Amino acid sequence: VLMELLPLPFSLVIAAVYTSGETGIFLMIAAGLIGTGVVVQRFADTSRRLEFRSNDLAALNAFGQQLSGAAFDAEKIVDLLCENARRIVTPDLCRVELVTPERERETLFVFEALRDQTRHPYETQTDNVLIDYFTNHREPIRALDVARSFVYPLPATGAARTIAERALIDGSVPRSLLSVPLFAGDELIGVLSMFSTRPRVYYPIHAHNLISMCAQAAIGIQNARLYTVERRRAMQLAMV
């Protein structure tokens, strides 16, 4: 087994020492090489994590800068949210569900983007377990494998299975998902959900980064709504 784990030159050296009968030297060399391999592997893992973290920070920074250019356009903010969330983690389906406060949560305005396709917005009046769940919870839902009920937090298992069954991707139920609420203060603005046909795609670091992004988006959408209300009121007053 040892011979298979090490590069060919090291394997030849160990084999030569072992066949010479010098067991003590063999063990010392083997231990040294294994220790070196572990250090190199950990260094590579750390470098990879730093690279991913750098990419995540770049996406968060880019999103913050782009928000200022979106002005008071809620749909543009949703587009930017999906676009930059994809830089943090690659989903097969990105969905943003916005609560429409003027209709008292009877209607959701939904934006869907399948892989790299253009988003598809639509309205729905069906019940939404995510909105109901996040009305009482703030922690994101992270499902490593929906089929096996590997869901965090555990009380969200039922909600995760329900939304996965409704979010078909090319006719298949997603294996993993990550749903993050959009809160502006105490107001639930909507939910960002990322779905994948592969299991074990989303990890705590992804949820952590998307929480920051969703918080920015929620405030931007709330401001856009307030601007729309005030603009409509000003137009009505001008007509009087």
* Predicted TM-score (pTM) of this structure: 0.73
Residue 164 and residue 194: Cα distance in Å, rounded? 10
Whole-number Å distance between alpha carbons of 199 and 144? 6
Q: How far is CA 141 from CA 57, 81, 192, in A?
A: 22, 18, 10
How many Cβ atoms from other residues are within 10 Å of residue 30's Cβ?
Answer: 18
Which run of H or of E encompasses 187?
strand 187-196
What is the Cα–Cα distance from 10 to 26, expressed in whole angstroms? 12
Compute CA 240 distance to the chain's CA centroid, rounded to the nearest angstrom: 48
Q: What is the pLDDT along the chain (240 residues), one digit of tens a residue?
A: 444 444 555 555 555 555 655 666 656 666 676 777 666 666 655 655 555 567 677 777 888 888 888 878 888 898 899 888 888 888 899 888 888 766 554 456 677 777 766 566 766 655 678 888 998 899 999 999 998 889 999 999 999 999 999 888 888 899 999 999 999 999 999 999 999 999 999 999 899 999 999 999 999 999 998 888 888 888 888 886
